[in-house]
Amino acid sequence: MVKVPAQFHIGPVLIAPATVLAPMAGVTDTVFRRLIRQQGGCGLLMTEFTSSHGVVATQKARKPTRTFRYLAFEPEEHPITAQLFGADPKVMAEAARVCQDLGFDAVDINFGCPVNKVVKCNGGSGCLRDLPLVRRILTEVRKAITIPLTMKFRAGWNDKELVYLEMGRLAEECGLQAIALHPRTREQGYAGRADWSRIAALKAATKTIPVIGNGDILTPEDACRMVAETGCDAVMIGRAAASNPWIFRQIQEYVTTGSYFRPTERDRYDMMRKYYDMMSDQAAPDTVGKMKQFATYFTHGVRNGSKLRTIIYQSQTVSEILEKVDAFFQGELVAA
């Protein structure tokens, strides 16, 4: 069995094991990242993708904003990367300097987001149609910081405008320390299959920096299969981690022993309760909304999960949600 590597480097930063939590808007905040870190097995955490214009505006205003909450992190989250998006090279460079000053281990640039409101501003995957702009952004940001610079991107705008090999060359020429490819196109969104052969082609064409593979990893077996089929240096997991926060631990166990932990109903309850307790301790304005959002993810695999989701969606306060989660699982565990 070809295994997920035990480690890799992003410049001088050691990532061990070679697994990365993908940046996900509305998901990978500091609470979720710390939950992932506590489960074990994740080598590198990444923030939600963050507007470079928002970072710079907040820095100039010198007052806390929602944008800066995206960049909040705790010491136990190291190594951690800040992910930025934008299309103005100067603004991107200034935002990257702010992230370096905040103590991040690396900065990542998002050239993959397919969402319309980002793309219409030429951010995210919108930049894939303007490679000279990509070069200017990479050049300016690389000059602005001393910590490692990486980027995450899609294969291209559509199947007729594939630019992932050119993006790899740009990364090497501009002095980046790693790249991550999600091999779907912007046009695909999250539909269809992630074509891992594109990751393999990028790895074969890239000589000096690590290639991180992303897309359609749902199980530990998938992670090892991606490495076997593509030769990638590390794997990045997004949506599967939201519904299965144990996946990084499972990958580490699988490559070590050939088998892995499978959560029981009790484990699912304990994990859900832990996340909700962490959320309530944070006392953010959107705590109830976040609890409802994560109910969608965390009830995946729970017996009678649809019933639990309905109960949570109908609740109005943090205490009500906690009480109803406790009561639900108490009944389910007794029934089991």
> Which CATH number does 8-257 carry?
3.20.20.70
210/172 Cα distance (integer angstroms):
10
Structure token pair of residue 300: 């995946």
> Is 335 buried (19+), middle (13-18) or exposed (0-12) by CB count in 10 A?
exposed
Query: What pLDDT shows up at residue 191?
Result: 84
Give catalytic status of residue 113 as yes or no: yes
Amino acid at 293: Q
How is 188-250 classified by DSSP, letter by letter? TTT-S---HHHHHHHHHH--SS-EEEES---SHHHHHHHHHHH--SEEEE-HHHHH-TTHHHH
pLDDT class of 188 with cuts at 50, 70, 90: confident
pLDDT in tens, 58-71: 877 666 666 778 89
61/84 Cα distance (integer angstroms):
19
pLDDT in tens, 280-323: 887 677 899 999 999 989 888 898 999 999 999 999 999 999 99
Q: Is 112 helix (H, G, I), strand (E, B) or coil?
A: coil
In the block, which residue shows the tokens 């899609």? 154
66/101 Cα distance (integer angstroms):
18
User: How many CB atoms lie under 10 A from the CB of residue 14?
Assistant: 12
Domain ranges of the chain: 8-257, 265-335
| Strand runs labelled E in 52-155 | 80-85, 106-111, 149-154
pLDDT in tens, 130-155: 999 999 999 999 999 999 999 999 99
0.85 exceeded by pTM: yes
57 CB contacts (<8 Å, ≥6 apart)? 65, 67
The span from the first CA to the last CA of the chain, in angstroms, equals 36
Average per-residue pLDDT for the chain: 92
Query: Which of 42, 99, 113, 174 does the annotation list as catalytic?
Result: 113
pLDDT class of 120 with cuts at 50, 70, 90: low
176 CB contacts (<8 Å, ≥6 apart)? 138, 142, 148, 149, 150, 151, 209
CA 294, chain centre distance (Å)? 16
pLDDT in tens, 10-35: 999 999 999 999 999 889 999 999 99
Structure token pair of residue 78: 């190291």
